[in-house]
Amino acid sequence: RPPVQSKVPVRAAPLERYLKAKGSEPPRTWVSGLAARLRAAGCAKLVGATQAWFRERVAYLLDDPKEADTEGDYFAAWLRACHRDIWDDIDRSDPEELRRRQWVPSVAHPKSKKHRHALKDITIPGLDEAFRELAAFDPGARASTKRERVLAKIVVDGFQLRLVDVAAVLSVADAVLSAPEGARVAVVLYAGEDHTKSVAEFWRGQGFSSVGRVGKSDGEDDEPR
């Protein structure tokens, strides 16, 4: 790989391969293996709650990707792929802020209201609509469009994004389970804001306190994290 950190092109996902949980037979994924180990240790109820939560959170995220992805990554990707004229003429340095804006000024004509761009009515199709659109695509007839490719990426990413949260939840449970019975345990989760909020939300749903999350969403560059 060259010293410049560029993306490595992959034409297709390796659907016939996955990371195998060590020692699992028949083979299963790492997350599945972790869930099986927790079930065997008496945590079947927690694993079931995690699975139900995963389905719920994926459904919420992909039902309205623009609204649900508060960090704005999906909306930025959608603008770049499907509204290139707007993308090339706006300040897109802050996707989170961009997602919230109704109007944004033109870079070429920053003082002109006539040339500003309306973002409020730009939406991203939900999961059902996206699947219908992708199912109608015939790879033998034509190449996929930018719209179809970004839709497919958002759908796949939604499942993978929340799967990271599932792995974090199960890892927390696994760490607690490894401690001696009756011991006081503190588990530190160091992750990005989206994952941290998501995992904290799960544990609050299991009866934990709503306080205790350290840090804040926005801070200056020179502030300690």
Query: Tens digit of pLDDT per residue, the chain (225 long)?
Result: 455 666 666 666 666 766 777 788 888 888 999 999 999 999 999 999 999 999 999 999 999 999 999 999 999 999 999 999 999 999 999 999 999 999 999 999 999 999 999 999 999 999 999 999 999 999 999 999 999 999 999 999 999 999 999 999 999 999 999 999 889 988 888 888 899 999 999 999 999 887 766 666 666 767 765
Question: For residue 210, what pLDDT is reported?
Answer: 74
Handedness of CA 208, 211, 213, 214 (dihedral sign): negative
pTM summary value: 0.83
Instruction: Please give the C-alpha separations between residue 165 and each of 83, 159, 162, in angstroms, as whole numbers.
Output: 31, 10, 5
Instruction: Please give the C-alpha separations between residue 74 and each of 13, 79, 150, 163, 224, in angstroms, as whole numbers.
Output: 20, 9, 9, 17, 28
| Token pair recorded at residue 58 | 């994926």
